[in-house]
Amino acid sequence: MSAPHETPHGEAPPTAPHATARATTEGTVYTVTGGDWDEVVQSAAKSDDERIVVNMGPQHPSTHGVLRLILEIDGETVTEARCGIGYLHTGIEKNLEFRNWTQGTTFVTRMDYLTSFFNETAYCLGVEKLLGIEDDIPDRATALRVLLMELNRLSSHLVAIATGGMELGATTIMIYGFRDRELILDAYELITGLRMNHAFIRPGGLAQDLPAGAVDHLRGMIKTLRTNLPEYDKLATGNPIFKARMQDVGYLDLAGCMALGATGPILRSAGLPHDLRRSDPYCGYETYDFDVPTAETCDAYGRFLIRLEEMHQSLRIVEQVLDRLEPGPVMVADKKIAWPAQLAHGPDGLGNSLDHIKNIMGTSMEALIHHFKLVTEGFRVPAGQAYAAVESPKGELGAHVVSDGGTRPYRVHFRDPSFANLQSMAAMCEGGQVADVIVAVASIDPVMGGVDR
């Protein structure tokens, strides 16, 4: 990367540790190089011991996406570890500034692509705070948000356990995990029309209501999952090989979690029952009966046990949602915010209801104009800022939403748990074995779509 840098006449150009300078007619040009990697290699080369630098990733199959791990090793022992991120940068947060508030859901759902509904909910809760319509969200919409998030917690934990098992060589767990995840993805497809990247939760409510037969389908799926989940316990929990690979690996105690900002199963494996659904409830979670599992192991094995138990608790919550689900609207009544006005399933998928379009085009010019402005321009959000946080499968997921009073966000920034939790990688891995790095990273369960926003 080159950039002109002009210096006052007669002055020496400033020195840059990662750049070489050359003079041009436009001034001094610096060619910037990969300084961090070069420094590590040079310092390792100068040392007199047997330490070498290993580049694990970003294409390594066990680094959960394009995560680069720079390891300094002495034999089989990791003496220094650091993360290299940014290989999957999407610019999602910046892109939000160029779309209206409702269109923002199509971006945020793609951040951590394994927890789409949590991304959408955190964003929409922030927008609704700015709009001042938190108490106007229909009860049915709030209940369905809880249902979708808990299904999403199940599918995310299944991927964590499946891929973590695969990286250890436990291929049976991997097969079982993806088998059960398919059941949940089928439910997503039935409800939203998509298996991933739904953009279904919107400011003010949901895109549409449950389709016919969805409740019966979900009850059947819950019954199947209740039969299947104990299999993971039988396969892994008491398995001496599995325990030997997981116990005392990726160790991080409560003090380390607090210092590094780790949340989710990492924090709860250190014995602290911190869960935003309990400590700072949203979407009516205070009205549901569930437990917050913890462990005292501070290691990868404890995080596995917590995820396993959290899946059982999520099934409890989903059943409670289905039992208390009452008929009603799923979008705020304010037509200046409610968008889209009507959706329907057609032969080409989910889209505008043709009956609704025919109605507004044939009966009311004002309704047609309003619909056009709402879709093309979007609604205005009062100036201000708000922070909304949810308990995602990986920890605290927060959305800081800023409005300048326009139809587009001025700034949206996410506190993604994968990004925050990756800070603990060095503390978990340094002093351990190279083979244990894979186990430690798997126990963090990072998704790079959420890290490189």
What pLDDT score does 1 carry? 46
Give the Cα separation of 154 and 150 in Å (integer).
Answer: 6
> How confident is the prediction along the chain (453 residues), in pLDDT tens digits per residue?
444 444 444 455 555 555 566 777 777 776 655 556 666 666 666 665 667 888 887 776 666 778 888 888 888 888 888 888 888 888 899 999 998 898 899 999 999 889 999 999 999 999 999 999 988 899 999 999 999 999 999 999 999 999 888 888 888 889 999 999 999 999 999 998 888 998 899 998 898 889 888 999 999 999 999 999 999 888 888 888 888 888 888 898 899 889 898 999 999 999 899 999 999 999 999 999 999 999 999 899 999 999 999 999 999 999 999 999 989 888 888 877 887 656 666 666 666 677 777 777 777 777 777 777 777 888 889 999 999 999 999 999 999 999 999 889 999 999 999 999 999 888 888 888 888 888 898 888 888 888 888
Per-residue pLDDT at 6: 47
Give the pLDDT confidence score for residue 333 in this predicted structure.
Answer: 82
Contact 203, 101 (CB under 8 A): yes
Q: Look at residue 5 in the predicted model and tell me its pLDDT.
A: 47
Q: pTM of this prediction?
A: 0.84
Side-chain-facing half-sphere of 448: CA atoms under 13 Å: 20
Instruction: Please report the DSSP string for 254-300 in residue order.
Output: HHHHHHHT--THHHHTTT----HHHHS--TTGGGS-------S--SH
Q: What is the pLDDT of residue 43?
A: 67
Q: What is the CA radius of gyration of the chain?
A: 25
